[in-house]
Amino acid sequence: MTNSLTATDRAHLSRCVDLAREALEEGDEPFGSLLVGADGSALFADRNRVAGGDATQHPEFAIARWAAMHLSPQERARATVYTSGEHCPMCAA
């Protein structure tokens, strides 16, 4: 396994930053996340939505809910979550 970022990794991370910027523009904390399948395709993306008062509306939670409903356990195990920043303790658990 390599520790260097690929061009694909950078593209996915750039999308996360775009989502974070969108969140900030909408009055939320600037975080965005992207779920990528084993084939490298983006499956689901979301941004922070806590401004409405629900502190659980982090993009990682939205990804987990979506993945539980749409992917098999095997597909979830092979997927990768990219995010614009380090996960908070709640989302890292």
Nearest to 59 by CA among 80, 87, 21: 87
pLDDT tens, position by position, 33-46: 999 999 999 999 99
DSSP state of 52: G
Domain boundaries, the chain: 7-92
pTM to 2 decimal places: 0.90
Low-confidence ranges of the chain (pLDDT < 50): none
Question: Which CATH superfamily does the domain covering 7-92 fall into?
Answer: Cytidine Deaminase, domain 2 (3.40.140.10)
- Tell me the one-letter amino acid at 3: N
